[in-house]
Amino acid sequence: MFENIRNHFPFFEKKPELTFLDTAASALKPKLVIERVNHCYSYEYANVHRGVYKLSNDLTEKFENVRIKTSKYINAKSEDNIVFTKSATEAINLVASCFSEKYLGSGDEVLLSYLEHHSNIVPWQIAAKKRGFKIITIDVNKEGAIDYDDFANKLNIKTKFISITHMSNVTGTIVDMQIIKKHAKKFNIPFLIDGCQYIAHAPVDVKDLDCDFYVYSGHKMYGPSGVGILYMKNKWFDRFDPYQGGGSMIDKVDFINTTYAKGNQKFEAGTPPIAQVIGLGASYDFISQFNLQKIFYHEKELYEYAFDKLKSFNDVNVIGDSKNKGAILSFTIDNMHSNDIGIILDQHNVAVRTGHHCAQPLLKKLNLNATARASFGIYNNKNDVDHFIEAIKETKNFFKK
């Protein structure tokens, strides 16, 4: 099913020698997306939601069609539940800010897990400083999996919000959302799922998840950078005050009193990421040609192939060996700094991410400062893994010299 997949990606025409293993940071772009963005800027471009002229109206319709595609992709009730932001980071900031202003104060608690990316930690800390609530952390075990008993034990009447990743960007751990949902519902606690690492690799159904918020970024699902997606349950649209003020989000403005637009427009102040949203639409078209479950197994097979080979080196340590995980492989090599590993791998045409992966609390918890991380996408294959393993051998030899 994925034999000819690279034909979709112009990148490989120019750089066939490169093994790209950094999809978790940002995915390469298929022709469909690149050409769609190019076409939009070349022939369709005008501002949206503003013009009375045909060019603007036509692009507004196409822009709104992507909202419909988004709602279908994640099985939301309606496109009205979708807010476009500039990134997943902005989407989480929006929720942390709007929710905390209305509902959080001293004595309240927000639960986050140790698996979180800084994007799902720092916005809550900023809000906590202003509002005086406490952040409580859900533990992870040494395999990098959530400690669900710890989660259950930390829930209490002070818990007012849960914000948790669907899949860790460091260990690939997939969080069992049915457990999170069960407990959240029992205490009637709203919860947000950070789907950045999950969205392009397995099906997402927000009706089944029954989460209040689901966020992800376009660039991690083969779409353009500069667009984030925030799914919100209906009730929050009226309950939240606007996150930002400006054009588009208003009903009537005067210096005495301004009234706001309703629904998602209230949260989309200013000119939106127009061409990025149009490109995002093409990324749904691209992924939807394939079966998401098959994408997951394809990538997972590569992960397991790489995992077994890496395990055969006694000085290589794979980080986070939890049962339920996606195709993200973090590792260290004894007596080598991860940045050195990344640099030598690059000299052998293998691109991996190195460092703390914007997850310093998790690394600290696992007694690490940094790791190297190989992450897989739809375009990877077994040759990539073989190349990666050969490059690891070269890296080890380099440091032995």
How many angstroms separate the Cα of 17 from the Cα of each of 30, 360, 364, 384, 388? 18, 33, 35, 10, 12
Letter string b/e over residues 50-67, b meaning 16 or more CB atoms within 10 A of that residue's CB: eeeeeebeebbebbeebb
Q: Which is nearer to ligand PLP, 124 or 344 (CB)?
A: 124
Q: How far apart are CA 104 and CA 6, in angstroms?
A: 48
- Burial label, 167 (beta-carbon count in 10 A; 0-12, 13-18, 19+): buried
Q: Looking at 59, 138, 184, 196, which residue binds ligand PLP (CB under 6 A)?
A: 196
Partner residues linked to 328 by β-bridges: 375
* Interface with ligand PLP, residue 276, by CB under 6 A: no
Report which DSSP code applies to 325.
Answer: B
Contact string (CB under 6 A) for ligand PLP, positions 216-255, x = contact:
-x--------------------------------------
Contacts of 220 (CB under 8 A, 6+ apart): 23, 24, 26, 27, 196, 197, 199, 200
On the 0-12 / 13-18 / 19+ scale of CB atoms within 10 A, 68 is middle
CB of 314 to ligand PLP, least distance (A): 30
Contact segment (CB under 6 A) with ligand PLP among 85-93, 235-243, 326-334, 346-354 equals 85-93
By CB under 6 A, name the one of 71, 81, 89, 173 that touches ligand PLP: 89
From the list 307, 310, 326, 317, the residue with the least C-alpha distance to 378 is 326
Residue numbers 288-327 binding ligand PLP by CB under 6 A = none
Would you count residue 173 as binding ligand PLP (CB under 6 A)? no
> Pick from 71, 93, 113, 119: which binds ligand PLP (CB under 6 A)?
119
State how far the Cα of 144 lies from the Cα of 356, in Å rounded to an integer.
15
Quote the longest CA-to-CA distance of the chain: 74
Candidate residues 117, 183, 300, 325; the one interacting with ligand PLP per rule CB under 6 A: 117
Question: Among residues 93, 100, 163, 197, which is the contact residue for ligand PLP, using CB under 6 A?
Answer: 197
Encode burial over 121-131: b for 16+ CB neighbours within 10 A, e otherwise.
Answer: bbbbeebbeeb
Q: Indicate the residue among 30 and 224 with the shorter CB distance to ligand PLP.
A: 224
358 in active site: yes
Looking at the Cβ atoms of 192 and 306, the one nearer to ligand PLP is 192
Q: Judged by CB, which is closer to ligand PLP: 169, or 338? A: 169
Place of tokens 């004894």: 334
Contact between 169 and ligand PLP by CB under 6 A: the answer reads: yes
Q: Which CB atom, from 374 or from 389, has the smaller least distance to ligand PLP?
A: 374
Report the C-alpha gap between 43 and 307 in whole angstroms.
Answer: 47
For the chain, the helix, strand and coil percentages under 3-state DSSP, each to the nearest 5: 45, 15, 40
Mark 355-384 with x for binding to ligand PLP (rule: CB under 6 A) and - for no binding: ------------------------------
Q: How far is the CB of 173 from ligand PLP (least distance, A)?
A: 11
Task: Determine the interface stretch with ligand PLP among 69-77, 117-125, 231-239, 323-331 (rule: CB under 6 A).
Answer: 117-125
Q: What is the torsional sign of CA 300, 305, 311, 316? A: negative
Pick the closer one to ligand PLP by CB: 220 or 266: 220
Site for ligand PLP contains 88 (CB under 6 A): yes
Give me the residues that bind ligand PLP (CB under 6 A), please.
87-89, 117, 119-120, 165, 169, 194, 196-197, 217
Positions marked catalytic: 358
